[in-house]
Structure 1
Amino acid sequence: MTCSAKIAKHANFGFLSFFLSKPEPVDMSGPVATLVKEMIASDEVVIFSKAYCPYCDMAKEVFDKMKVKYTVIELDRRSDGDQFQDVLNVMTGARSVPRVFVKGKCIGGGTDTKSLYQCGRLQAMLD
């Protein structure tokens, strides 16, 4: 028996069962997924963020330095923010924030954005 199976055997409906449960499937043709896709297509740079997240601030600061306009969606200020993150997880392979999109393509998070800026590749993506 695997370690997680042993833990699951002894976990009732408590803390651990939450982490061991499988996520609900995401309807990628549903209204939330459609809205996320429309938001990504709506601007050259789109950042899915949380207001308190330092990595989100890092990504925003990069575009501020570059004087590039961007759209920010603060997921912690939306009632459907968790659903947005589920959709972004399917689209990008990560549920974490920020999720930064340039011209419709996910470039990663805050550290990725800063690294692309520092090596000059981010400007090339925007040209």
Structure 2
Amino acid sequence: MDRVTRLASQKAVVIFSKSSCCMCHAIKSLFYDLGVNPSIHELDEDPKGREMEKALQRLGCNPSVPAVFIGGRLINSANTIMSLHLSGSLIPMLKDAGAIWL
């Protein structure tokens, strides 16, 4: 749990992902298209990935990936991210976190 919270607070946007997950790919693409340079942690490529996945589940991530943190705060699922984007709330949130400067 400590590792997840430490990594989540190191950059404005942090995404915990799996390289084979199509929703993870879609969320990463969205952030790149918005001009965000997120810190990506591929759980299936990390030796401690299984531990981190369990920690994300304890934090309430279900499914465990993609898990998105903006400004150190868990935003959670792909559904939540897409809803925020469609409602126009995601970009202001990214600006407040210092992830973009539009």
- Please state which band the TM-score falls in when normalised by the shorter chain: 0.7 to 0.9
Question: Which of 74, 83, 90 is 2:51 aligned to?
Answer: 83
| Structure having the larger proportion of residues in helix | 1
Q: How many residues align?
A: 95
Hey, what's the Cα distance between the residues in 1 that align with 2:18 and 2:40?
9
Q: Which has the higher contact order (CA 8 A, sep 6+)?
A: 2
Runs of 4+ deviating beyond 4 Å = none
Q: What is the deviation of 1:115?
A: 2.1
User: For 1:42, what is the secondary structure of its paired residue?
Assistant: coil
Distance 1:50 1:107, change over 3 A: same
**Partner residue in 1 for 2:98:** none
- In the superposition, the TM-score normalised over structure 2's length comes to 0.84
The reply on whether 1:42 has 2:10 as its aligned counterpart is: yes
Q: Give the CA deviation at 1:93.
A: 4.4
Which structure 2 segments of 5+ residues have no match?
96-102
**Deviation at 1:92?**
2.6
Identity, in percent, stands at 32
| 1:74 paired residue among 42, 50, 61 | 42
Larger radius of gyration: 1
Correspondence for 2:73 among 77, 80, 105: 105
Secondary structure of the residue aligned to 1:72 is strand
1:50 and 1:98 in contact (8 A); partners too: yes
Q: Following TM superposition, by how much is the alpha carbon of 1:64 offset from its aligned partner in structure 2, in angstroms?
A: 1.0
- TM, length-normalised to structure 1: 0.69
Deviations 1:45-86 (A, max 9, x none): 000000010110111111111101100000000122111011
SS in 1 for 2:81: helix
Where do residues 1-127 of structure 1 align in structure 2 (5 Å cutoff)?
A: 33-127=1-95
